[in-house]
Structure 1
């Protein structure tokens, strides 16, 4: 079965080409991993939540997904409030310690957590029991996994995820407007390698994989305990599942491209032939485990592009035997059977029949896969035709845009802490974050240092703007210190930092320098490649410009300074740097509106506007002051066109509010009311358009009364 004839090699080569076209090649896989690890590093370095660390795991971080999968984002939150140990020598005074119990009474792949005293490294024997602690037959005080369940429920209430789904240890909020789900899992970290997996560290398969260095690295990643017990055991309430997620991610990062493609094909086959009939039988993790097993037991020269079909057949054959025996051993903890409770007697014969058809089809089963148009693409390749559509550039464009959004999302909570702070407190807080970034950059290398370089300029810009606002308040000027700080963030992207600088000059009445900065922005804003970037909230993103995707294909995050336009954010403490028309956005929410805001909606306490909208608005105001009518009308027309035609504006309602005020300046009250109404159609609540409508109607009524 596994001797590859010529046609099998030909199909394998064409299949490899198809997978490369849809983004399963070395370049895109590395970009996927880089995107996730950068985001992970940004969150860990800033450490906005000192009680936990967040890790991105699963197919997106591994680079083993495609556009057609629309894969979930798997987020593992490592809670630091417990010290989980496997040896009493690791006990720490003054903290909550728990000892992992892994004996014959515990289900394989699971453990118990025994409560320890905080003054001496000894177990509790007498303490007040509650819903989180039970005493077993041996007299041990054990922590129940209900505590994680309650933490998850608290998250649901806090983030208003009442319509979300809780499954096992994970909670999935309502589906995002962008179309993908996010699975959140809370876990407790253990710094040492689990006892049940120590034998794995000394095993070596035929393929000399994983290597000694990989195993040594894995042993240093420790493990996590997740609040879910074995449903078929008698200790379900107080068993904890052992997770080696970071070690598994290391293994995935050390696969070659043929092995990754084999895994992607296994998932496509499962999605096409198994999941429609038996949703919860064969998981992606089982496919991954089978792949690990086959790699460990084959020579490395087996895994070549022209042998892909044979590689896939061998993996499917091993998966078939797992289903036949209803046993899929965890790769790192072999005693843990991943198939327990997943396959019943009624479904097993049909599953085996499906697997037999796929294995014996000699690759023809692949022609039934519609995911990512695999069938149509493969037929095109086999007929020696040129594939008319590749999606790999679209994928890299998505990834670069995701990095840009991740930058704003990671900075957002830092800014939220100073939303209503004084100048002094705001500056002090931002300097502490900046010091943390500089320190991390000096102490770390690789992606961690890159993460610091991506975050630091935005903090510099905000510090400069706050200092400028203070100096404008004091003497209607901008201090040299403020200009120095803001200059450090001017090239983060195409426009946002420069627009803050232009806004400062505008607010002190320096029209000449305002015009120069705005002209510089307009000259560098290439509409063929620049994409608006907004991470304030989740919304449906329309297809990006081809130029943006093309630039993203051959560059990493350094391209953002040429092809990204972040939205411009002003905090209340920057109020003197904000044009009066935009200041209304600081007061967008009525008391009733506040009840409809979510926890991440603190951007609504700020004045936020898309770069392109703000550029044309500032040009309109500047040229109006300079009495340059043609330039003023051009800027107004550009603002109208941007609102109508730019698909990816994140703050269209704000742009409409600014346009409405421009219409008021033009004495076109009816048009102004029209645009304010359109703004309310975009965002019904938490919208300053309500203020503008009331203000304008009041003005019209008073004017009418005076004219009577």
Structure 2
């Protein structure tokens, strides 16, 4: 791995030929000059896109490393292919940073997770077609899981503001930006200052950071601070000024800005118990669907044939049916005439 490219990216060099090589790895190999063999991220993605292991998924236009698609004509999915790698040195830098969070125990656990290389280079780079982006999904998930209640609420609220108020059309700003804002916020401030009384204070602080990122087009990646998450956002001046004004208006309005969010308005007027129950069921169904896709890939041989007798796949399917039946029974009690389990599943995942 050669990291002498744009921060947060690398170029993959072949150390030695493997005894058994997959077609999707063999075909994208390129001559890098001076005897070096490189793995092209662009060719790797082309090779993977040419194969369609899921016949019931309609593929859409590629978006960075993601392969968007529609499952069964209803459920929208994003598939990102990645290669696993081990680079604990990057996470070790977290321990050297003066911070209030995360604790040493959490950092050690995060360091045990592997990183992932996604097939996308830095936009505009001379070697964009050869570069791979370094990601730390598992480690960052662990960090998010260790946010306290107020920090998690700020994270959720900022994501809702992004989705329901700013509404980016071309992913100029993503929930990943929001995640990094919250992680920096947690690291930079004493943990006892994050409590229920200070929720709006930290929400406004997050909005200020988001506005600053939009205005300056600068936000450091939490794990690799040298990488600017806004560098290739494609944010245009007109959109930039509009979002800046929108955030200013929200901060001026105070807590009333929360009422702009449809989900919050719904929660205010609806009974919380059924919503909480349904949210838990939907979250479990989403996790099962993701696990099924991952397991489907693991149980697939070189010819694309899937071993559907796999016990884990069968267990996932059984639990999915159980969840659908639970929701269907609840809907029937509430007077709904919908009883098709697949329709219920698709509606829950939309």
The TM-score normalised by the length of structure 2 is 0.78
Equivalent of 1:393, from 261, 271, 277? 277
Q: Would you say the 8 A contact 1:132–1:145 is kept in 2? A: no
CA 1:167–1:401: 2 relative to 1, 3 Å: closer
- CA distance, structure 2, for counterparts of residue 349 and residue 403 of structure 1: 37
Question: Which residue in 2 is equivalent to 1:192?
Answer: 87
> Structure 1 residue 361 and structure 2 residue 262: aligned?
no
- Pairs within 5 Å for 1:105-504: 106-118=5-17, 132-136=29-33, 140-156=36-52, 159=55, 161-176=57-72, 179-193=74-88, 195=89, 198-205=92-99, 207=100, 209-275=101-167, 279-342=170-233, 343-370=235-262, 372=263, 374-375=264-265, 377-378=267-268, 387-388=270-271, 390=273, 391-399=275-283, 455=315
Residues 480-512 of structure 1: CA deviation (Å, up to 9, x unaligned): xxxxxxxxxxxx99xxxxxxxxxxxxxxxxxxx
- CA distance, structure 2, for counterparts of residue 316 and residue 330 of structure 1: 17
CA deviation after TM superposition for structure 1 residue 282, in Å:
1.7
Q: Would you say the 8 A contact 1:192–1:220 is kept in 2? A: no
> Structure 1 residue 102 and structure 2 residue 3: aligned?
yes
Question: Which residue in 2 is equivalent to 1:647?
Answer: 339
- CA distance, structure 1, for counterparts of residue 328 and residue 174 of structure 2: 33
Structure whose alpha-carbon radius of gyration is higher: 1
- CA distance, structure 1, for counterparts of residue 295 and residue 27 of structure 2: 39
Q: Would you say the 8 A contact 1:411–1:455 is kept in 2? A: no
CA 1:139–1:329: 2 relative to 1, 3 Å: farther
Over aligned residues, Cα RMSD in angstroms?
Answer: 4.1
Name the SS for the 2:279 alignment partner.
helix
- CA distance, structure 1, for counterparts of residue 137 and residue 30 of structure 2: 27
CA 1:533–1:646: 2 relative to 1, 3 Å: farther
Residues 77-107 of structure 1: CA deviation (Å, up to 9, x unaligned): xxxxxxxxxxxxxxxxxxxxxxx1112xx01
Residues 51-78 of structure 1: CA deviation (Å, up to 9, x unaligned): xxxxxxxxxxxxxxxxxxxxxxxxxxxx
Q: Would you say the 8 A contact 2:28–2:47 is kept in 1? A: no
Gaps of 5+ in 1: 1-99, 120-128, 381-386, 418-425, 435-450, 459-491, 494-530, 536-540, 550-644, 652-708
Residues 117-149 of structure 1: CA deviation (Å, up to 9, x unaligned): 249xxxxxxxxx97531325x663322113421
Name the SS for the 2:134 alignment partner.
strand
Q: Would you say the 8 A contact 1:149–1:169 is kept in 2? A: yes
CA deviation after TM superposition for structure 1 residue 188, in Å:
0.9
CA deviation after TM superposition for structure 1 residue 349, in Å:
2.3
- CA distance, structure 1, for counterparts of residue 182 and residue 241 of structure 2: 23
Q: Would you say the 8 A contact 2:81–2:118 is kept in 1? A: yes
- CA distance, structure 2, for counterparts of residue 416 and residue 102 of structure 1: 32
The TM-score normalised by the length of structure 1 is 0.41
Q: Would you say the 8 A contact 1:144–1:239 is kept in 2? A: yes
Question: Which residue in 1 is equivalent to 2:304?
Answer: none
CA 1:310–1:180: 2 relative to 1, 3 Å: farther
Name the SS for the 1:361 alignment partner.
helix
CA deviation after TM superposition for structure 1 residue 400, in Å:
5.4
Q: Would you say the 8 A contact 1:534–1:650 is kept in 2? A: no
Name the SS for the 2:117 alignment partner.
strand
CA deviation after TM superposition for structure 1 residue 265, in Å:
0.7
Question: Which residue in 2 is equivalent to 1:610?
Answer: none
Name the SS for the 1:101 alignment partner.
coil
Name the SS for the 1:309 alignment partner.
helix
CA 1:203–1:548: 2 relative to 1, 3 Å: farther
CA deviation after TM superposition for structure 1 residue 545, in Å:
2.5
- CA distance, structure 2, for counterparts of residue 142 and residue 412 of structure 1: 29
- CA distance, structure 2, for counterparts of residue 144 and residue 404 of structure 1: 32
Gaps of 5+ in 2: 19-25, 302-306, 344-350
CA deviation after TM superposition for structure 1 residue 239, in Å:
0.7
Question: Which residue in 1 is equivalent to 2:347?
Answer: none
- CA distance, structure 2, for counterparts of residue 140 and residue 403 of structure 1: 41
Residues 183-220 of structure 1: CA deviation (Å, up to 9, x unaligned): 11111111232x55542342131x2x111111112222
CA deviation after TM superposition for structure 1 residue 295, in Å:
0.7
